[in-house]
Amino acid sequence: MSLWPALPVELKRLILELVAINDVHDARSLRLVSRDINVLVLPVIFSNISIEHMNDLTAVTSTIFPPPTPYQKLRNTIPEPPRLLSSYNTTSLALLLRENLPSIENALATIGPVFSRIRCLAITSRNLSSNAFWLRANNVRPEYIMLPHHGSPRPVNWRDAIFSQVTHIFTSSLDSHGPSTLSDLSNVTHIAVYTHTELLNDKIRYIAGKLEWLLDPLSFPRLQALVLALGRFPRPPHHKPIRYPHDVLARERYTTLLSLWRTHLTLCLPSSKFYILPDPHCPHEEWENWIHGDSLDIWQQAAEYRLRYPNSMVLDPRKPEVARDLDQWLSLIRVDLLQFSGLAPIEKDTLRMRRASKIEWEIDLVQREGYREFDRLDPEEAGEYEHVLGF
């Protein structure tokens, strides 16, 4: 005899909520059981919302606030959402749409109260300027903000009320609209910026000047950590003594690049608040760490890295690494590929597969090379803004 009918309603609700929390696929299946269970599991499904394509927008808005049925249209009745919009416990929103249409703002405004309690927000500056009204109207005040882009960083109005409670910001832009500056973020304690290492001298100088300003205690009195994440961090060239001569030119390029960064960051490196993090997680993976806490965030990674490699050592050229001749080792080792045929198949990481299926986020301070040619701006944006760090 099943015990389920005898259980109290409160215990049934708790069991169903735990099932939904444990696996989002089970939560979606539970929606089909009954209307009451659908209302119960909706907050679990929409605890973290990511809108990167128009299909995502349609799916989210039509589920939280379904459009009127043909019968409702015939009777001219206004549909009601399955549950109160203010009863959702959404903690994060990633809004990275390439399109910039009034219909997007209208659709999101209809479910605006869902986002009133979010803690983490990832949004491009273009989406931020387009949706600023309904974000302010619904009192969206996140503590963590990530500002990626689709190829070219855009200036930001740092005096917008949405930044009033921000303590941690990972930004692709240090530029501002009008008189506002990043120092208008009165509560910010942690800042992170990213760029790739192989830049021209004038771009490195410009970035270093911005970092010096960020470390100024008069401009940022509450700042605790400033992370410079460097992608494509140079490694000492391999020395192959068996067959190939040492690549002297590669060694010179490696030494010159590190020396260039070290020279321009002279005023930043001694600061206890300044951290360098080579080859950080990609922005999408960093976002997953923020909302799920599966790994260290970018500031924790940087602090851990500096315990092993102080700022004074990170940009110092290292000795060349010795690489053994692969051909020689393969000639000495016989590998029987058939012996692995009986092994069980490797379980695929569904989360990484899902990440790979989406367009990768960009958060580089420097505009992507060839951006104007391959990613045309909207007609109304043509000539609006030329990024200082563009190519």
**pLDDT, tens digit, 9 for 90 and up, residues 273-284:** 999 999 999 999
- Confidence band for 356, pLDDT divided at 50, 70 and 90: very low
- For residue 384, the model assigns a pLDDT of 44
Average pLDDT value for residue range 339-367? 55
Q: How many CA atoms lie within 13 A of 74 on its CB side?
A: 3
- pTM (2 decimals)? 0.82
Least confident of 18-27, 113-122, 375-384: 375-384
**pLDDT, tens digit, 9 for 90 and up, residues 245-268:** 556 677 788 888 899 999 999 999
The H or E element that residue 194 is part of is strand 190-196
DSSP state of 24: H
CB atoms within 10 A of CB 382: 9
- For residue 240, the model assigns a pLDDT of 55
**pLDDT, tens digit, 9 for 90 and up, residues 224-251:** 999 999 998 887 776 554 444 556 677 7
- For residue 354, the model assigns a pLDDT of 44
Average pLDDT value for residue range 91-117? 90
Least confident of 67-71, 108-112, 337-341: 337-341
- For residue 189, the model assigns a pLDDT of 97
Q: Residue type at 183? A: S
**Residue that the structure tokens 């259980």 belong to:** 7
- Confidence band for 373, pLDDT divided at 50, 70 and 90: very low
Please say if the pLDDT value at position 335 is more than 50: no
- For residue 250, the model assigns a pLDDT of 74
Average pLDDT value for residue range 121-125? 94
Sheet hosting strand 190-196, strand order edge to edge: 48-51, 92-95, 120-123, 144-147, 168-171, 190-196, 225-231, 274-278
- For residue 239, the model assigns a pLDDT of 58
